[in-house]
Structure 1
Amino acid sequence: MPADTPLRLRILEAVTDVPAAAWDALLAPDAPPFVRHAWLAAMEESGSATEETGWAPHHLTLWRGQKLVAAAPAYRKFHSMGEYIYDFGWADAAARLGVEYYPKLIVGGPLSPATVPRLLIGPGEDVPALRRALLTAATESARESGCSSVHILYPTAEEADFLEGEGLARRITLQFHWKNPGYQSYDDYLARFDSKRRNQLKRERGAAATQGIHLRTVRGEELTQAHAKRAYGFYTSTCERHAWGQIQLTPGFFARVFKNLPDAVEMVEAVKGPKVIAGAFNLATRERLYGRYWGAFEEHPFLHFHVCLYHSVEDCIRAGRKVFEPGAGGEHKVSRGFEPTAVHSAHLIFDKRLDGAVRHFLEREHLRLAPAVEEAERICGLKPWPLAGSPAAGGATGT
């Protein structure tokens, strides 16, 4: 089909309205699972992300003839839960101005606070032109469907640059990621801390052995629907334990992901005697590990740190993965060597008064960001890499 053939916009009320092969053809070979067709379909078909739960699918697709050439996963949202780019204050300000903030249009994935491509462009296509066409489609369809605004959540830094250049308000917030500069062993990682912090991490990680707890990672062909049920149990146990917890995912979501994305799912399990007492449901690519949901049926000191952080850090070193993103939140991660990392979002609010107020807020928020990063880096306390005596410097590793 000639490149000058007019584009046709189709807005999909379900991601399954487009063939999985056509959607996934827009992705890089090692794309994060959160943007894959099977993940979005699991969210929607399981009843986890539907209009009834406040996530009305509104996927933007551009076609040249019968060929899908660009797409953006999008949802009309009727609340702000499950996004992790917090705008509850903006909704309150809208109410004071007499503006209906909901529904709003978000471009992103449900319950998935991970940086992934949001404006999906097919190979060989004019990337700037199709990005601009998707943004126009998002803006116009949001207005037509009664949305107050457009929010692109967790785009890549390159996409955020583009969106800012198109006039959207850019927001930068922080997550805390573990980064691998070339560790050959877990001791390499420990060697980057001072003696006091290193001994703390050893003590916390070593507690499992004294408690009779063994940790393992289950992946690939070892995964079964029994693991999917267990993952749902861990997820709900955490939601029910906290006042802010809200169960948004269904058992069917986990069943579908374990069945349809076995190459991307990993399950950390803590075993005591004959029982699995705790675990974490993670997603992975060749270069990155993404922490998602954890839970425990028994309480033990430091078990959360071991299941959610230390065990997977060692797994990442063994596999040569470059980054471990354990999800939103971060105070307890910082002192364990997870580094402050910028994540992005872009926002366009149609009411000029509210848009101006939000942009002013973002300017002030951005000014507070640098001191927050400096403080997090101080708490993180990692020494520069490579260390003298480390394998990267050609010597033995110190502990």
Structure 2
Amino acid sequence: MYTHKFVSSIDEVSPHDWQALCTDNLFCSYSWLSALEHSGCVSKDTGWKPHHLLIYQDAVLVAILPGYLKSHSYGEYVFDWSWAEAYQRYGLKYYPKWLCGVPFTPVTGQRILCKELTLALTEYILTTLKHGCQQTAWSGAHINFLTEQLTPNRNFMTRYGVQFHWQNNDYVDFADFLSALTSRRRKMIKKERQQAVNSGLHIRWLSAGEIDDVMLEHFYQCYQNTYIKRSGHQGYLNFTFFKLILSTLPESVRLCAAFEGPQLVAASLYLCDKHTLYGRYWGALEDYQTLHFELCYYQGIEYAIKHKLNNFDAGAQGEHKLTRGFKPVVTYSLHHIANPMFSAAISDFIQREHRHIEQYIEQCTLVLPFKQQ
């Protein structure tokens, strides 16, 4: 028999119990999510109030859904602003909503943390979320960036998205990767890499143990500077968060940094697990020609090849990744909308959107740079 409860802090679950269900899921790990909470990056004040769902079977914890009550839609990367605007036009409240996902992190992965996701457990979880919407003021319940589709449930809609990931085809080195591309794209990439070299900057890969407080502060300045230039506001993550993950996830953190003399002037922060390299946070003090491509893409590809990693996820969006060897991959999210009228309208929207995404993926494959598609 299943039972459940919601908790308002990850501290209400022991790290041992959390990790026993999370296994090697980096971004849903206790270390990553607790760093977000303990740094204050996620809280009621930031619009990410922790509200994790715990599932028990005969009083034994068998599943966890990292969850948050949202008062806005920032930092999710599954965009539902038009849904919120439609609610507003009808004088209804779209917020709060309940979201299962990793704040500020559009990385696909296990979202229902459990040892075995059975049909019975899936049904209980989705029914619990539906009832949660009925019993509270939530407009809906959402699960973002699942590894794959769950068993179809009539109360939840599956929404599809597209990202661009690089996949390792057992390349020996970067030159071997380039040999798989058309001549035109090889020349483009070589030219961009040479421009980065011509900047006169020295590029180094650093492990967590090599990143001292001064270097971390310089990276953080780069991160905030670029965020403000791009979006007009500061980045979602604070210095305390980055400091915490250096100490709690040292085996996973890597920094690809560019130095002008002894001074760090640009950097891309990566994380890695056994199979995948994740490019997450980029920043620079000034604009350097093609340096973004070098630190965020080409250096990452080289690292993945050298360390025999299967995949390289360089972040959300970015069609320019296609011509640099990143292929389109499908992402999944699940959505329950409590209001029947809006549920029907959004379901129709998602179906039409899915057809467009299928066509979009076909178009993307036509511009891939590989000699043999």
Q: TM-score, normalised by structure 1?
A: 0.89
* Partners of 1:58 and 1:75 within 8 A in 2: yes
CA distance in 1, matches of 2:4, 2:215: 40
* Partners of 1:237 and 1:297 within 8 A in 2: yes
CA distance in 2, matches of 1:319, 1:194: 25
CA distance in 1, matches of 2:253, 2:48: 24
Q: Secondary structure at the match of 1:170?
A: strand
**For residue 153 of structure 1, what is the aligned residue in structure 2?**
144
1:205 aligns with one of 193, 196, 218: 193
Identity of aligned residues (%): 34
Matched, 1:372 2:347: no
Distance change >3 Å, CA 234–CA 128, structure 1 → 2: farther
**For residue 40 of structure 2, what is the aligned residue in structure 1?**
47
Q: Secondary structure at the match of 2:351?
A: helix
Q: Secondary structure at the match of 2:231?
A: coil
**For residue 73 of structure 1, what is the aligned residue in structure 2?**
66
Q: Which amino acid aligns with 1:9?
A: H
Matched, 1:100 2:93: yes
Distance change >3 Å, CA 161–CA 133, structure 1 → 2: closer
CA distance in 2, matches of 1:272, 1:313: 23
Q: Offset of 1:148 from its aligned partner?
A: 0.3
Equivalent residue pairs, number: 373
2:295 aligns with one of 298, 307, 326: 307
Distance change >3 Å, CA 47–CA 126, structure 1 → 2: closer
Matched, 1:265 2:260: no
Q: Offset of 1:280 from its aligned partner?
A: 0.7
Q: Offset of 1:188 from its aligned partner?
A: 1.6
CA distance in 2, matches of 1:108, 1:166: 21
2:77 aligns with one of 68, 75, 84: 84
Q: Secondary structure at the match of 1:60?
A: strand
Q: Offset of 1:250 from its aligned partner?
A: 1.5
Q: Offset of 1:224 from its aligned partner?
A: 3.4
Q: Which amino acid aligns with 2:38?
A: E
**For residue 13 of structure 1, what is the aligned residue in structure 2?**
8
Q: Secondary structure at the match of 1:25?
A: helix
**For residue 339 of structure 1, what is the aligned residue in structure 2?**
327
Q: Which moved more, 1:141-150 or 1:356-365?
A: 141-150
CA distance in 1, matches of 2:145, 2:219: 25
CA distance in 1, matches of 2:125, 2:146: 14
Distance change >3 Å, CA 86–CA 207, structure 1 → 2: same
Q: Secondary structure at the match of 1:204?
A: helix
Q: TM-score, normalised by structure 2?
A: 0.95
Distance change >3 Å, CA 72–CA 278, structure 1 → 2: same
**For residue 136 of structure 1, what is the aligned residue in structure 2?**
127
Query: Where in structure 2 are the equivalents of 1:315-334 lying within 5 Å?
Result: 315-334=303-322
Q: Which amino acid aligns with 2:14?
A: P
Query: Where in structure 2 are the equivalents of 1:92-241 lying within 5 Å?
Result: 92-122=85-115, 125=116, 127-157=118-148, 160-162=149-151, 164-241=152-229
Q: Offset of 1:64 from its aligned partner?
A: 4.1
Q: Offset of 1:276 from its aligned partner?
A: 1.1
What are the Cα deviations for residues 216-269 of structure 1, in whole angstroms up to 9, with x where unaligned? 211143233444333322221111112355422121111111111111111110
Cα RMSD, aligned residues only: 1.7
CA distance in 2, matches of 1:79, 1:349: 16
CA distance in 1, matches of 2:59, 2:150: 31
* Partners of 1:225 and 1:259 within 8 A in 2: no
* Partners of 1:228 and 1:258 within 8 A in 2: no
CA distance in 1, matches of 2:245, 2:206: 15
CA distance in 1, matches of 2:188, 2:333: 36
CA distance in 2, matches of 1:360, 1:251: 42
* Partners of 2:2 and 2:124 within 8 A in 1: no
Q: Which amino acid aligns with 2:193?
A: R
CA distance in 1, matches of 2:216, 2:332: 31
Q: Offset of 1:190 from its aligned partner?
A: 0.8
Q: Which amino acid aligns with 1:231?
A: F
Unaligned stretches of 5+ in structure 2? Answer: none
Q: Offset of 1:177 from its aligned partner?
A: 0.5
* Partners of 1:190 and 1:198 within 8 A in 2: yes
* Partners of 1:71 and 1:134 within 8 A in 2: no
* Partners of 1:60 and 1:137 within 8 A in 2: no
Distance change >3 Å, CA 58–CA 84, structure 1 → 2: same
CA distance in 1, matches of 2:226, 2:182: 33
CA distance in 2, matches of 1:353, 1:99: 12
